[in-house]
Amino acid sequence: MAETADVIVVGAGPAGSATAFHLAQAGLDVALLEKTAFPREKVCGDGLTPRAVKQLVAMGIDVSEEAGWLRNRGLRVIGGGQRLQLDWPELASYPDYGLVRRRDDFDEQLAQAAVKAGARLAERCAVTGPVRDERTGRITGVEARLGDDKKQVTYTAPVVIAADGNSSRLSLAMGRHRDERRPMGVAVRTYFTTPRHDDDYLESWFELWDRRDGRERLLPGYGWIFGMGDGTSNVGLGVLNSSPSFKELDWREVLKTWCASMPEEWQFTPEFMTGPIRGAALPMAFNRKPHYARGLMLVGDSGGLVNPFNGEGIAYAMESGRIAAEVVSQALARQTPAQRELALRAYSKVLRDTYGGYYSLGRAFVQLISNPRIMRIAAERGLSHPVLMRFLLKLLANLTDPTGGDAMDRVINGLTKVAPRA
């Protein structure tokens, strides 16, 4: 079988579905290929910051509580024997609330929004490799196996977008490998039946310990408790690869140990666990580049668009999808192949201009908190300064008004402008 389209999007997670949605709204014929079938599970904290909420609203998603979304007012931070509640900032650019929703349902809603906009979704469509022009090496489509009978299908299009996650086999097949110098994280999580399921705040714990060999080492990362509003909480942890313990520790065991330290009435014990502990990698700070070359464009996790400050990926997946769609729709309206290619190459620059400085600050932050002494001081003393913590909330969550705003916004925006856009 052979299928043609204006654009092929490989992967129907938040990045792929957002890309397909905006491309379809621009009037393009989009083939959205998903290797599994909805609903399907993904490892995630299930918590969405106001950055992600903004993208959902732009896609016309009903984010009301009546539609099954649980709203939150901000972030509760716990560490160094202290506890501080920080509301999301009031900004012109973003809503003042976050959301919680399970990823199996969340991803399906986004995929269906793309279909409603006009994208053609093919589930159980496993892409097996790129189709390339033998003369130029440019990608011109993909080979895939479709359905339960694994029917061989060739999809062709002028542009292919990789939204196939951290492993991004399509990117690897086109010779784009992960930059080992860029930060990488790991997240593990599970669900518990708990009385803590209904919470107005996302909760982050800044103390994770490696207590092997009779010594205590503070790990660069945090634990989270996100109430789902349905009788369960998503409980997990995220840790950076900058720790010497990164490859040595069994992170599922670290999570079990951390949960066992919680109050008994929270029920974070095996008998109240509603599913297995699952883990996933967090590709951060542009850890795979170039984001466009030879007809292939990278969005979301495939291009390493995870915030190195806090491990947030969904907002940047959706944002990069919108940016990619704008670039592609403009490029395909050009008159000649040379003009189209010139426009497509602008995608990498737009990403650098949008995130490069901020991600460079994030990489410096990662190096800083990799020092256990600095991490300990930050956990013990930082929470005693609410003004400083409000500044850090804006910085870590990347929530500022680009023009105007308060003094904190101006400082953060100034730092991102002068930081290298690498």
Q: Is 350 helix (H, G, I), strand (E, B) or coil?
A: helix
| Mean pLDDT along residues 252-277 | 93
> Where residue 79 falls among pLDDT bands split at 50, 70, 90?
confident
* pLDDT single digits (tens) 287-345: 999 999 999 999 999 999 999 999 999 999 999 999 999 999 999 999 999 999 999 99
* pTM for this predicted structure: 0.95
Edge-to-edge, what's the strand order for the sheet holding 221-227? Answer: 82-87, 74-79, 201-205, 221-227, 232-240, 184-193, 278-283
Of the two residues 36 and 368, the one the predictor is more confident about is 36
Q: Judge whether 284 and 184 are in contact, CB under 8 Å.
A: yes
Residue 420 has pLDDT above 80, yes or no: yes
Residue 380 has pLDDT above 80, yes or no: no
Burial (Cβ within 10 Å: 0-12, 13-18, ≥19) of residue 278: middle
**Looking at residue 405, what is its pLDDT?**
86
Q: Which of 197, 315, 337, 219 is nearest to 267 (CA)?
A: 197
> Where residue 147 falls among pLDDT bands split at 50, 70, 90?
very high
Q: Domains along the chain?
A: 2-73+98-180+284-365 (3.50.50.60)
| Mean pLDDT along residues 192-197 | 96
**Looking at residue 242, what is its pLDDT?**
77
* pLDDT single digits (tens) 1-29: 899 999 999 999 999 999 999 999 999 99
| Mean pLDDT along residues 42-60 | 95
> Where residue 376 falls among pLDDT bands split at 50, 70, 90?
confident
Residue 362 has pLDDT above 80, yes or no: yes
**Looking at residue 213, what is its pLDDT?**
66
